[in-house]
Copies of this chain bind each other. A is one copy, B any other.
Amino acid sequence: MNKDKHHHGDLREALISAGIGLMEAGGPAALSLRKCAAKAGVSHAAPAHHFKGITSLKAAIVARSYKIFAETMQTHRHGLTEPRARLVAICEGYLAFARSHAALFQFMFQPFPPDFAQINPPILAELEQYSTLAYRELEQACAPFAPIGGQEGGIEVMVWSLVHGYAMLFASAPEARTPAGTPPDFAQILPAFPLRK
């Protein structure tokens, strides 16, 4: 741990972990550059040498979230080869992540603030990498099925919209606030879908 040394050793990683911890404990609003620094045991200005600003740290946290997100879906579909079962498993992984990492899930899909440009390029690349990784999971699960409306990629957009909307509205919310009672399980919704091989 490099105790008492001037260099922290792996401050970058420590800051990301601290940030995720803060968000999971108190929601996205609980994230603060200074609190992350304190949790990592460094001064309040230390993060500046690893992240250009708080937007950069946020981007790094989102990148990390996408990584966990993709891994969750991978775990769920592992070993399944039958197309329909595989797609269902991917959706279950999607919803499982939204439930168990509610704060991160909400944070990931928030549009980025206008100061996007200040994010360090390597962080941007990492973000791109893992979000693509997650998207590929969904894409591959949809691949066996015939396109909808003749448009390429239409089926992914349809399934993605459905599972994402459900996750946002019912899985990740603190209380699934449907004015009309408890929503049905997603497992009852997806099978009603017109998926043809």
Contacts and interface: CB of A to CB of B under 8 A. Distances in A.
A173 interface: yes
A191 B194 CA distance: 11
Contacts of A81: none
Interface string A119-162: 00000000000011001100100000000110111101110111
B157 A170 contact: yes
A181 interface: yes
B191 A111 contact: no
B157 A166 contact: yes
Identical copies of this chain, number: 2
A2 interface: no
Interface in A170-191: 170, 172-174, 177-181, 183-184, 188-189, 191
Most chain B CB inside 10 Å of its own CB: which residue of A26, A139, A151: A151
Contacts of A132: 179
A111 B27 contact: yes
Interface residues of A, number: 52
A139 B179 CA distance: 10
Contacts of A29: 113
Interface string A79-122: 00000000000000000000000100010011111100000000
A9 interface: no
A114 B162 contact: no
13 contacts: A131-B177, A131-B179, A135-B178, A135-B180, A149-B192, A154-B184, A157-B166, A158-B192, A160-B165, A161-B162, A161-B189, A164-B169, A165-B166
Given A160-B165, A161-B169, 7 more contacts: A106-B111, A111-B174, A139-B179, A149-B184, A151-B184, A158-B192, A161-B170
